[in-house]
Structure 1
Amino acid sequence: MGWVEQIVSSINDVLWGPPLLFLIVGTGIYLTFRVLFIQIRLLPYSLKLAFSKQDKTSEGDISHFQALMTALAATVGTGNIVGVASAVIAGGPGAVFWMWFAAFFGMATKYAEAVLAVKYRVKNEKGEMSGGPMYYLEHGLKQKWLGVLFAIFGATAAFGIGNLVQSNSISGVMNSTFQIPTWITGIIITVFTALVILGGIKSIGRVTAIFVPVMALFYVICGLIILVMNADLVPSAVGLIFTDAFTGQAVAGGAIGTVIRWGVARGVFSNEAGLGSAPIAAAAAKTDMPARQALVSMTQVFIDTMIVCSITGITIVMADMYVTEKSDALTSLSFAHFLGPIGSIIVAIGLLLFAYSTIIGWSYYGEKCFTYLAKDSYVMYYRVVFVIAVFFGAVFKNDFVWGVADMLNGLMAVPNLIGLIGLSGVVVFESKRIIDKIKQEKKEKNISVSS
Structure 2
Amino acid sequence: MEAFHNILKSMDGMLGGAWWFPYVLLGTGLFFTIYLKFPQVRYFKHAWKVVTGKYDKANSPGDTSHFRALTTALSGTVGTGNIGGVAFALFLGGPAALFWMWATAFFGMTTKFVEVTLSHKYRDKTPDGSMAGGPMYYMDKRLNMKWLAIAFAIATVISSFGTGNLPQSNGIATSIESTFGFDPLMVGSILGILLALVILGGITRIAAVTSKIVPLMALIYVVGAFAVIFANLENVGPAFVSVFSDVFTGSAATGGFLGATIAYAFNRGVNRGLFSNEAGQGSAPIAHAAAKTDEPVSEGMVSILEPFIDTIIICTITGLVILSSGVWKEKHMNTFDRSDMHILAGTYVESDAADKETLFAYINDLDGHGVTDYTGDIQVVNGKAVNAGFTIINARSFAENVTFSIGEPVDNYTGML
Does residue 278 of structure 2 align to residue 272 of structure 1?
A: yes
Contact 1:87 1:96 (8 Å CA) reproduced: yes
Mapped partners of 1:184, 1:207: distance in 2: 23
Q: Deviations over 1:183-224 (max 9, x none)?
A: 332332222112211110000010000010001111012212
Question: What does residue 319 of structure 1 align with?
Answer: 325
1:228–1:2 CA distance, 2 compared to 1 (3 A): closer
Secondary structure of residue in 2 paired with 1:217: helix
Q: Is the 8 A contact 2:52 2:67 kept in 1?
A: yes
Deviation at residue 327 of structure 1 after TM alignment: 8.4
TM-score between the two structures when normalised by the length of structure 2: 0.75
Find the counterpart in structure 2 of residue 35 from structure 1: 36
Paired residues for 1:224-303 under 5 Å:
224-250=226-252, 255-303=261-309
Larger RCO of the pair (alpha carbons < 8 Å, separation 6+): 1
Segment drifting more, 317-326 vs 64-73: 317-326
Gaps of 5+ in 2: 336-407, 409-417
* 2:133 is aligned with 1:127: no
Cα RMSD between the aligned structures?
A: 2.0
User: In structure 2, how many angstroms separate the alpha carbons of the residues matched to 1:290 and 1:14?
Assistant: 34
Seen in structure 2, the aligned counterparts of structure 1 residues 227 and 200 have a Cα distance that, compared at 3 Å, is same
Residue-pair matches, total? 330
Alpha-carbon contact 2:93-2:260 (below 8 Å) kept: no
Does the Cα contact within 8 Å between 1:85 and 1:313 map onto a contact in 2? yes
Higher strand share: 2
Q: Whole-Å Cα distance in 2 between the matches of residues 106 and 175 of structure 1?
A: 35
Q: Is the 8 A contact 2:82 2:310 kept in 1?
A: yes
Q: Does the 8 A contact of 1:89 with 1:326 survive in 2? A: no
2:10 maps to 10
Instruction: After TM superposition, list the pairs within 5 Å mapping 1:181-220 onto structure 2.
Output: 181-220=183-222
Tell me the alpha carbon deviations over residues 224-265 of structure 1, each in whole angstroms, 9 at most, x when there is no partner.
233334333211211111111121133557611111111111
Unpaired runs of 5+ in structure 1? 330-396, 398-451
| Map 1:34-113 → 2, pairs under 5 A | 34-53=35-54, 54-113=56-115
Corresponding residue SS for 1:294 = helix
Shift of 1:162: 2.2
- Kept in 2: contact 1:133–1:280 (CA 8 A): yes
Identical residues among aligned pairs (%): 45
Do the aligned residues in 1 keep the contact of 2:94 with 2:260 (CA within 8 Å)? no
Larger helix proportion of the pair? 1
On the 8 A contact 2:50/2:302 being kept in 1, the answer is yes
Secondary structure of the corresponding residue to residue 250 of structure 1: coil
Residues 1:50 and 1:173: Cα distance change in structure 2 (over 3 Å): same
In 1, the alpha carbon distance for the partners of 2:80 and 2:96 equals 20
Distance 2:234 2:305 in 1: 30
CA contact (8 A) 2:93 2:259 kept: no
Give the Cα separation in 1 of the matches to 2:226 and 2:57: 34
* Per-residue deviation, residues 119-145 of structure 1 (Å, max 9, x unmatched): 110111211111111001111111111
Distance apart, 1:156 and its partner CA: 2.5
The residue number in structure 2 matching 1:21 is: 22
Equivalent in the alignment of 1:149: 151
- Please tell me whether the aligned partners of residues 82 and 328 of structure 1 are also in contact (alpha carbons under 8 angstroms): no
The change in CA–CA distance for 1:227 and 1:60 in structure 2 (over 3 A counts) is same
Q: Is the 8 A contact 1:93 1:250 kept in 2?
A: no
Q: After TM superposition, list the pairs within 5 Å mapping 1:163-174 onto structure 2.
A: 163-174=165-176
What letter corresponds to residue 9 of structure 1 in structure 2? K
Give the residue type in structure 1 aligned to 2:43. Answer: L
Q: Which residue of 2 aligns with 1:409?
A: none
- Tell me how far 1:112 sits from its aligned partner: 0.4
Cross-structure match for 1:307: 313
Q: Judge conservation of contact 2:80–2:167 (CA < 8 Å) in 1.
A: no
Query: What secondary structure, in the 3-state scheme, does the structure 2 residue paired with 1:245 have?
Result: coil
Q: How far apart, in 2, do the equivalents of 1:47 and 1:122 lie?
A: 26
Shift of 1:4: 5.1
| Separation in structure 2 between the aligned mates of residue 200 and residue 218 of structure 1, nearest angstrom | 27
With over 3 angstroms needed to count, the CA separation of the structure-2 counterparts of 1:182 and 1:249, relative to structure 1, is closer
Cα distance in structure 1, aligned partners of 2:170 and 2:24: 31
Q: Partners of 1:151 and 1:97 in 2: how far apart?
A: 32
Contact kept in structure 2, 1:137 and 1:146, CA below 8 Å: yes
CA distance in structure 1 between the aligned counterparts of 2:248 and 2:2, rounded to whole angstroms: 38
Partner letter of residue 311 of structure 2?
T
Deviations 1:383-405 (A, max 9, x none): xxxxxxxxxxxxxx9xxxxxxxx
1:417 match: none
Specify the alignment match of 1:179 in structure 2. Answer: 181
Structure 1 residues 67-76 or 184-193, which shifts more?
Answer: 184-193
Structure 1 ranges of 4+ moved more than 6 A: 326-329
Structure 1 residue 6, shift from structure 2 partner: 3.1
